[in-house]
Structure 1
Amino acid sequence: MEVISIILVTVAAFFILHYLNTWMNNKNTNFPPGPRILPLIGNLHSVLFKGLHQTLLELSKTYGSVFSIQMGMKKMVVLAGYDAVKDALVNHAEEFEERARVPIFEKMDKGMGLSFSHGENWKIMRRFTISTLRDFGMGKTSLEEKIAEECSHLIQRVQSFKSMPFDNSRHICSAVANIIVSILLGNRMEYEDPHFKRLLDLIYENIKIMGQRMVLLYNVYPVLGLLPGSHRKFQKNIEELRSFIECIFLKHLRELDINDQRGFIDAFLVRQNMEKSYPQSYFHNDNLTGLIRSLINAGTDTTSASLRWCLLMMIKYPHYQEKVQDEITKVIGLAQPTYSHRLQMPFTNAVIHETQRISNIVPMSLPHETTRDVNFRGYNLPKGTHIIPLLTSVLHDKKQFKTPEVFDPNNFLDSEEQFMTNDAFMAFSAGRRVCVGEKLARMELFIFFTSLLQKFLFCLPPGVSEVDLTPAVGFTRSPIPHKMCAIPRIQ
């Protein structure tokens, strides 16, 4: 009898919650349409089986460029296609500039730092970050020299394999990470440094964890945080990373010379010291920790993944690799590649852009949130509405690209084979939340890519006949582990 009572109470609670949820959602009669929802789980069942961005792509074919989806009890609005995403993030930038509150990221940063910060804190940290990155070379020749130096270390590492098969992931990640590390600290780190290796391990383990179903379930039902699972490993890694970062900036604080700032951390500490008498100052240690973590994550993962995809595409399409190398020989010769060379190398520039487009590293961008009630494209979106800009739908928009579903550098070349920009190239997102390191990433990609192809011919290992373009499981779309051969070019 007791068991029956528990079952009846559970069923009753289930339907009461479903009724309340439906009533709350129906209060807004002009909300974007979406698929039918199930009690308590909404559309979660579809996402768990097919994956989130693939599910949203399919739904956009039925519901159009602005539609809704429900994850558990929370409604979200999805923007699909170039026109809708641009309209929101660019034309209505102020209304869509806030970062959505996602449980795992809120627990990680608590609204501090940059990537997942909110309101005035985000605005101040963003302004400081952009100006400080410029001060330390972003977009300038001095930073190109750092990238060129790192290229030489990476090339030496690749040469050490003597044309034998190797997995490039660790080496490329180390080289790319060293650029942002040198900006933060004022010096690079050795690839075999155990602290550096552990830092990269923590970053990439968490990126992998964020793509797992348990994290999705935790974000939908935060109460699951009480249970064991990968979400708890994620938090443990964050705590270790926080301790690592705190040790770094405490060391910098002890050695700080106001008149000789070595890098980004020193600049923050100087500003912190200037505002120490202001109780409401945003320049405190929590923001510094969040900023460093944001910059290391963003400055390592997406760029290194893009570079690895570039090399895979050159192996997949050897005729394109040959054409890139012909252009390198013609324009650069044996000199050190510089970012300005891209202006004379339309095909190479197109290959890099096309790789970023087709590899679709961050398919859903980072989620946004409306800052106030807004009528958008005929729909009423209340303040605090969770917004998903579906970047994969922009990068594959048939109205914007000649051949959106295949790898084709001609998507960025005009009829005279000159490089052609495209506003729908939103690999770095768009609007006020666009990636602050976009200029740095573009510079790194071009110089690393051309430097490697200047020195090596990349191909599959003996006995391997197919290039596997399956992305690894993770928050971003990186290549799965693979081996390749780098054959020194005869020049």
Structure 2
Amino acid sequence: MLAMRLFWTALLVGLLVLHFLRQLWSRRSYPSGPLPLPLMGGMWRIGTRLYQDTFLKLKKEPGNNEPSATPFLTAVTNEKDLVFSNGDIWKQQKKIGQATMQKLEHGKKSMEHQIKEEAQKLVETFACAKGQPLDPLLPVANSVCNVVCAVAFGHRFPTDDETFQRLVKDIDLALKAGGSFIYALYRLFPRAMRCLPGPQKKALSSRKAVLSFVQKEIKKHKECQLRHEPQDFVDFYLIQIEKAKGRVGSTYDEEQLAECILDLFISATETTATSLQWALLLMAIHPDIQDKVYKEMEDVLGPSHSIAYQDWQQLPYTCAVIHEIQRSKYAFLFGIIRQAAKDVNLLGFLMPKGTFINPNLNSALLDPKQWETPEKFNPNHFLDKSGKFVAREEFQLFGSGDPTCLEEQLARIELFSFFSALLKAFRFRLPGGEKKLNTEPRTGLTTYPHSYQLCALPHCQAS
């Protein structure tokens, strides 16, 4: 009996080893990546410090062989989400995004005008603290989320509105679950995790809640669609749905509209909010850089000038600081996922048609061959010897692609407007007695800072 047990045990172990070796052999033509264990693949690192370290180390490699469209990401998104879309869906949604962007650039309710109004409200929120320590996380998240609401729905929400606060919380929950140990478990046991209670349920229900919020706003727009001229993203999209009715191959419908706005909330909101939180932290830690930004704005534009987005061309140092914040403390570990339309040979590795390609952003943003001090915060990375701003090809914050997409353009205008408005109004300092703040990122689907407090002192008091 014992001999039989030993035989079956040895046979099982042998089969597992054989399966593991076959798996390694089948991956011999793939780019290098984390050691893929049986069943788990490379997901065993998620939920540990090794999760982020893995991708930091992979910047030195030509790629990694971990699948992008994992069960958790597929569950949190769906086939209509723009993160995983391709072909006609991606092309058509990109087209309407660009067209709507152009239409929203003009008039009293222009996108930039709404962003400037929201930036001013954030300045007023900080001023209410009267120089006392405050945690900027929630005020920043509220303001940035309200920008997306203004662009998508044509109006903002009071920050004390319960429905709006649930929206902000749900967006945060959906993103923060992405780098947790639950993510790894979902990768291993997708069917079981769909049924069991836990954080994964909160992430999935949060996505549904955001989608429900969006759908209610779309319904309100439809009810009063004929009463006014189109003035926001929903208005223009509903018009496009009517134009495309009966057209073969059209992907314009209300479900896709809701997914587009959901993508705006996740991409534009989280990118800008995280970058702005890092920005204030870095300015408090580097007062010399902060003072230089303020001096440039005062010298070039004057104390009474209301800064507009086009002013960035006159503010090379400010622009360099913003880009360096995004480079050194990038919000996302990965770029936007794409799918190979045909077989591609990349650095000697075959990427078969249909392969999901998930760009590892720090391979470009932290490349020691491209940046003088890749691990340090150094605005000179974006300045030439004469102090002029230099656009760097290696700065692939959103991955390679068309920089005119709605999410990227919105994020650029938001970050410049919020950052310049806050730096023009306040000098940020660490609370009394605080000498150092934790600058190590926390990791979910984004890399965001630990909670911190700072003091926003009006410049008349800070001098």
Q: 2:382 aligns with which of 387, 412, 416?
A: 412
Distance 1:483 1:37 in 2: 41
Partner of 2:164: 196
1:228 pairs with 2:197 = yes
Q: Identity across aligned pairs (percent)?
A: 31
Q: Which residue of 1 aligns with 2:232?
A: 263
Change over 3 Å in CA distance of 1:243–1:14 after alignment to 2? farther
Q: Equivalent residue for 1:58?
A: 57
Report the equivalent of 2:153: 185
Partner AA of 1:239 in structure 2: K
Query: Structure 1 stretches of 5 or more lacking a match?
Result: 70-74, 77-99
Query: How far apart are residue 163 of structure 1 and its match?
Result: 0.8
- The answer on whether the counterparts of 1:470 and 1:479 sit within 8 Å (CA) in structure 2 is yes
1:146 aligns with 2:110: no
Aligned match of 1:290 in 247, 259, 267? 259
Offset at 1:53? Answer: 3.8
Figure out how many residues of one structure are paired with residues of the other and give that number: 458
CA contact 1:354–1:408 (8 Å) conserved in 2: yes
C-alpha distance after superposition, 1:174-200 (max 9, x if no partner): 111222211111112211121111110
Q: Which moved more, 1:265-274 or 1:398-407?
A: 265-274
Residue equivalent to 1:402: 372
Matched-pair contact (CA < 8 Å) for 1:105–1:116: no
Given that 2:276 and 2:419 are in contact with CA atoms closer than 8 Å, whether structure 1 keeps it comes out as yes
Contact 2:43 2:184 survives alignment (8 Å): no
Q: How does the TM-score come out when normalised to structure 2?
A: 0.90
Equivalent residue of 2:44, what SS?
helix
1:112 aligns with 2:76: no
| 1:466 pairs with 2:463 | no
C-alpha distance in structure 2 between counterparts of 1:224 and 1:433, whole Å? 40
Cα distance in 2, alignment partners of residues 11 and 281 from structure 1: 57
Q: Find the aligned partners of 1:473 and 1:27 in 2 and give their Cα distance.
A: 31
Aligned to 1:45: 44
Deviation, 1:45, is: 3.4
From 443, 451, 455, the equivalent of 2:413 is: 443
Q: Read off the aligned partner of 2:280 and give its amino acid letter.
A: L
Partner of 2:343: 373
Question: 2-side partners of 1:24 and 1:443: how far apart?
Answer: 47
- Give SS of 2:442's match: coil
User: CA shift at 1:11, angstroms?
Assistant: 7.8
Deviates more, 1:113-122 or 1:155-164: 113-122
Q: Equivalent residue for 1:385? A: 355
2:294 matched to 1:325? yes
Instruction: Specify every segment of 5 or more residues in structure 2 that has no aligned partner in the other structure, as ranges.
Output: none
Letter of the 1:415 partner, please give it. K
CA shift at 1:328, angstroms? 1.2
The secondary structure found in structure 2 opposite 1:354 is helix
CA deviation string 1:150-180 (max 9, x = no partner): 1221111111111111111111111112222
Q: State the one-letter code of the partner of 2:56.
A: L
Q: Is the 8 A contact 1:14 1:39 kept in 2?
A: no
Offset of residue 353 of structure 1: 0.6
Q: Which residue of 2 aligns with 1:424?
A: 394
Secondary structure, aligned partner of 2:225: coil
- Residue of structure 2 in register with 1:128 after alignment: 96
Query: What is the rounded CA distance, in whole Å, between the counterparts of 2:335 and 2:211 in structure 1?
Result: 24
- The 3-state SS of whatever aligns with 1:423 is coil
- Indicate the residue corresponding to 1:85 in structure 2: none
Query: Using the alignment, how far apart are the partners of 1:102 and 1:214 within structure 2?
Result: 13
Structure 1 counterpart of 2:323: 353
Residue 299 of structure 1 pairs with residue 268 of structure 2 = yes
Is contact 2:94–2:405 with CA below 8 Å preserved after alignment? Answer: no
- Alignment correspondent of 2:134: 166
Shift of 1:16: 4.4
Q: Which amino acid aligns with 1:236?
A: S
Between 41-50 and 105-114, the greater mean CA deviation after superposition = 41-50
